Amino acid sequence: MEDIAQRLLNGDQRALSRSISMLEQGSPEAAGVMKAIDPHTGRCYTVGITGPPGAGKSTVVDRLAELLRRQGFTVGIIAVDPTSPFSGGAFLGDRIRMQRHYLDPGVFIRSVATRGQTGGVPRLIKSMVRLLDAAGKDVVLVETVGVGQTELGIMGVADTVLVALMPESGDAVQTLKAGIMEIADIYLVNKADRDGAGQMAAAITAMLQTSSSQPEWAPPVLLTAALTGDGIEELWDQIQKHRAFSEANSQLRSRRERRREQEFLEAVEEELGKRLKTQIDENPELRSALEAVAAKGLEPYSAALDFLDSGFDFKPRWNPRPPQADDRG
């Protein structure tokens, strides 16, 4: 794994792609690569973009990547897609609108399936960002599936969060209900050439002004037409201003520290889940405990605590009893 890690640090795209594949497959070798490259991370800047379907997120990412390349930056793009019910892979695959970047060695694009994980952003996205960072990407753009109550996971990935809306997004109050007020560093009203864009921007601005919280950073509300590229340069200017603000008051460092802590906890939780499934398949005592719980011989919550306290060496004690007339499951 040292060879793959060194090649990745030298900017080898194949080594980067292989490392991401190992992460997705849950390969034990991926841990060795992550450990080797970790001291070389922390240089890239991560921008997350979320919003309702149809808001033009992919086009915004495409135009941002184009602008960044003109300015000499290398770019990583991670597109989080719904999971295919058949293959388990990314349903939309690599985005069609981004295909013109595929032959550019300064751009790396990868689609990732949500795999049913809550928060809309799989845990491995954080590790993927660090791989792109170690491979020398200056900016990483992470596009999520959509926005809603479960889409707040982008906060745990990005240094700057963009929320893209469109004039047809409906009543702006729904924006508040979706939790967007808590996650956005910059708002975009995309497709600004359509009727109602100005009213949508004004509604968002009004809600920000009447918000009970008064953040130090006032999220700007921008009008963009990503299809033609209008407003993309102003968007990049605002991203840079937010970065400068976050670095000046140490918010960027704090956000990244919290991100690493959360990644550790998520990895522990995920690994415990995998080991529990293995135990169910291989440990007759645990299978016996599940049967006992199902038959009301053991109470689920207390039995779970006993199992954890035993260090996965659970030897349940229970006396099977016939179902009672008042058993309701």
Whether residue 211 is contained in a domain is answered as: yes
**Nearest Cα to Cα of residue 310 among 276, 282, 281:** 276
Instruction: Answer whether residue 307 is part of any domain.
Output: no
pLDDT over 90, % of the chain: 45
- The 10s digit of each residue's pLDDT in 92-124 is 444 555 666 767 889 999 988 765 554 456 788
- Which pLDDT tens digit goes with each residue over 188-209? 999 998 888 888 888 888 888 8
User: Looking at the predicted structure, is the pLDDT value of residue 329 above 80?
Assistant: no
Across 38-54, average pLDDT: 92
Claim to verify: residue 173 and residue 29 sit in the same structural domain: no
Domain with 1 in it: 1-40
Residue 73, pLDDT score: 97
Q: Are residues 49 and 148 in the same domain?
A: yes
Instruction: Please provide the distance, in angstroms rounded to a whole number, between the alpha carbons at the two ends of the chain.
Output: 50
Q: Which of 194, 225, 249 is the last residue of a domain?
A: 249
Residue 275 lies in a domain: no
In a domain, 311, yes or no: no
For 222-250, the pLDDT digits (tens) are 999 998 999 999 999 999 999 999 999 99
Helix (H) or strand (E) holding 280: helix 251-282
Residue closest to 61 by CA, chosen among 73, 79, 87, 43: 79
CATH number, domain of 153, equals 3.40.50.300
Which neighbouring-strand residues pair with 143? 49, 79
> Which range, of 38-47, 66-75, 88-97, 111-120, averages the lowest pLDDT?
88-97
Instruction: Tell whether 238 is covered by a domain.
Output: yes
Do 46 and 25 belong together in one domain? no
Q: Which has the minimum average pLDDT: 57-71, 118-132, 174-188, 243-257?
A: 174-188
pLDDT recorded at residue 97: 54
Q: Is residue 309 part of a domain?
A: no
Q: Are residues 45 and 34 in the same domain?
A: no
Residues 25 and 54 in one domain: no
pLDDT of residue 153: 77
Tell which residue, 127, 105, 132, has the closest CA to residue 43: 132
Domain count along the chain: 2
Q: Are 36 and 95 in a shared domain?
A: no
Q: Residue 41 contacts by C-beta under 8 Å, 6 or more apart in sequence?
A: 130, 133, 134
Q: Is residue 298 part of a domain?
A: no
pLDDT for 280: 84
Q: What's this model's pTM, rounded to 2 decimal places?
A: 0.84
Domain match, 5 and 57 both: no
Q: How many CA atoms lie within 13 A of 247 on its CB side?
A: 9
